[in-house]
Amino acid sequence: MVDPYELLSRELGAGRVLRSVEALEPYAQDESRLGVFPPDAAVLCESRAEIEIVLRLAAEHRIPVTPRGAGSGMTGGALPVRGGLVLSTERMKRIVEVSVDDRIAVVEPGVINADLQAAAEAEGMFYAPDPASLAFCSMGGNVAENAGGPRAFKYGVTRDWTLGMTVTLMGGETMKLGRRTPKGVTGYDLTALFVGSEGTFGVTSEITVKLIGRPEGVGTFIAVMPDAVAAGRAVSAIIRKGYRPRALELLDRAAIDHVRAKASFAFPAQAGAIVLVELDGEPDAMEAAVLRCGSVCEDEGAREVIVARDDADRERLWKTRRLVSPSLREAHAYKISEDIVVPPGSIAEMLRRADEIGARQRLLMATFGHAGDGNLHVNVLTDENHRDPEVAARIKAALGEIFRAALDLGGTLSGEHGIGIAKARYMAWEQSAEVIDWQKRLKRLWDPQELLNPGKIFAG
């Protein structure tokens, strides 16, 4: 029988089908650090036609396929847990169109989020979804995970910005979903369904996103709070008073202390927690809005309000915020970042419970995240050997308690990182057996042989 990988090499060119152990190493892992799963091959696709060839051949030969963008996912979505081949869209980096008149951009899936932002801004336009990984994550991955970011509070997540896409199913059939108009309700909204499907329905080869005019005025400040509970109260007060910042972030003391040494923006020593607020709108109105919003934080106990003076200052502040996750990773032998969401009124209670869980399980905790949306990245950290069964049991118990706490408070398991393999076993804690079963039926509709990104989202 002909080796299917040989066939692929012949069809696409040998250089595009990687087989050696060294070449496959990067495709065996991702940023989740949930393990190393070497695939049998990695295929570097450069066009929709090539994706069709790969998915046709893979279906014929019953080879599992794992789509992959930049590998920055936090839940193991791009890990080829059942072997087979990794289909990488990292080379599909073309920004096909930026239309100011139609307020859209059309991109290939390998386009890096920050490159789309820059291309839109060069035309005076704005693409809002801004994951903290924006410098290196790809649009294909953003769409598959329905990525969020700080600006989701005002502007929503990737699904809210995705108008249409071209997807290829296992077997090689291609569908064009959605539209390029701002509005449209023709038929079922399959675009919305495919966004967030974690690469289990089809492989995206083109994405149409909406753009808006770039807000001209931006005002950014941090409120230095005595503790995380006061910070949670400040977040609630800002929203209650009718402000709609584009970002409303929270960092607890542990998160601040980890990033302090690297921070190009100096976080005050007495910070028990920080609320980072960014407003946008009319340039003339910004200064007054920042002052008023800052005084809401002072009413909730802010010790200091520090305003970014200019764009460079603002960029330093965001750079520091984006360094939190990598700093936690560098500082500890083991880190796992959770991504729970709680109703906004329960933020302070969730923060209290996270600390309690850390103390009970003798693990370090650091929490930061998109507090305006109730989306908290609770990081479980340890310098002990996490493979030691006793330590592993405490980590597992802590994660379970974090999820239980979030669900008890009326929350959800994931705000933006998806389920992947990391949270598959907890799905049944949140959703009924019937709801899970309907999702599995949907999956089988697009992929009856269950070959596309198998082993993800659902346990077993």
Ligand X SMILES: Cc1cc2nc3c(=O)[nH]c(=O)nc-3n(C[C@H](O)[C@H](O)[C@H](O)COP(=O)(O)OP(=O)(O)OC[C@H]3O[C@@H](n4cnc5c(N)ncnc54)[C@H](O)[C@@H]3O)c2cc1C
Nearer CB in complex with ligand X: 197/346: 197
Treating both helix axes as pointing N-terminal to C-terminal, what angle do 311-322 and 324-331 enclose, rounded to 10 degrees? 40
Contacts (Cβ under 8 Å, ≥6 apart) of 258: 324, 327, 328, 331, 366
Please list the alpha-helical segments (H only) found in 266-388. 283-299, 311-322, 324-331, 347-360
Nearest-approach distance from CB 97 to ligand X, in angstroms: 18
Nearer CB in complex with ligand X: 12/137: 137
| 376 exposure class (CB count in 10 Å sphere: 0-12, 13-18, 19+) | buried
Stretch that binds ligand X, among 125-133, 183-191, 287-295, 441-449 (CB under 6 A): 125-133
How many residues belong to the site for ligand X (CB under 6 A)?
37
- Distances from the Cα of 178 to the Cα of 70, 159, 250, angstroms: 25, 12, 35
Nearer CB in complex with ligand X: 43/230: 43
- Report the site for ligand X in 185-204 (rule: CB under 6 A): 198-199, 203-204
The residues with which 334 forms a beta bridge, in sequence order, are 382
Nearer CB in complex with ligand X: 31/280: 31
Nearest-approach distance from CB 129 to ligand X, in angstroms: 8
- Distances from the Cα of 272 to the Cα of 114, 206, 230, 302, 375, angstroms: 32, 45, 9, 10, 19
Nearest-approach distance from CB 30 to ligand X, in angstroms: 5
Query: Taking the C-alpha atoms of 73, 255, 373 and 291 in order, what is their torsion angle to the nearest 10 degrees?
Result: -130
- Report the site for ligand X in 53-112 (rule: CB under 6 A): 66-74, 77-78, 89, 109
Nearer CB in complex with ligand X: 132/229: 132
Nearest-approach distance from CB 410 to ligand X, in angstroms: 22
* x-or-dash string of contact with ligand X, 297-336, rule CB under 6 A: ----------------------------xx----------
Q: Is residue 39 part of the contact set for ligand X (CB under 6 A)?
A: no
Stretch that binds ligand X, among 131-139, 252-260, 398-406, 434-442 (CB under 6 A): 131-139
Binder of ligand X out of 29, 133, 220, 346 (CB under 6 A)? 133
How many alpha carbons lie under 13 Å from residue 141 in its C-beta half-sphere?
A: 33
Nearest-approach distance from CB 360 to ligand X, in angstroms: 28
Nearest-approach distance from CB 343 to ligand X, in angstroms: 20
How many alpha carbons lie under 13 Å from residue 173 in its C-beta half-sphere?
A: 7
Helix H or strand E segment including 302: none
* x-or-dash string of contact with ligand X, 440-459, rule CB under 6 A: -------------x------
CA 298 to chain centroid, in Å, comes to: 32
Closest residue by beta carbon to ligand X: 141
Q: How far apart are CA 429 and CA 422, in angstroms?
A: 14
Contacts (Cβ under 8 Å, ≥6 apart) of 73: 30, 31, 32, 141, 145, 417, 418, 420
Nearest-approach distance from CB 199 to ligand X, in angstroms: 3
Nearer CB in complex with ligand X: 77/294: 77
Buried-exposed string 217-240: b where 16+ CB fall within 10 A, e elsewhere: ebbbbbbbbbbbbbbbbbbbbbbe
Nearer CB in complex with ligand X: 132/351: 132
Dihedral angle sign, alpha carbons of residues 283, 287, 288, 294: positive
* x-or-dash string of contact with ligand X, 366-405, rule CB under 6 A: ----------------------------------------
Nearer CB in complex with ligand X: 382/453: 453
Stretch that binds ligand X, among 20-28, 145-153, 241-249, 427-435 (CB under 6 A): 145-153
Tokens representing 243 are 């402000």
For every residue of 25-86, which 3-state class applies, written as one string? HHHHCCCCCCCCCCCCEEEECCCHHHHHHHHHHHHHCCCCEEEECCCCCCCCCCCCCCCCEE
Binder of ligand X out of 9, 29, 117, 138 (CB under 6 A)? 138
Binder of ligand X out of 154, 233, 258, 417 (CB under 6 A)? 417
Which residues of this chain interact with ligand X, rule CB under 6 A? Answer: 30-31, 66-74, 77-78, 89, 109, 131-133, 137-138, 140-142, 144-145, 147-149, 198-199, 203-204, 325-326, 416-417, 453
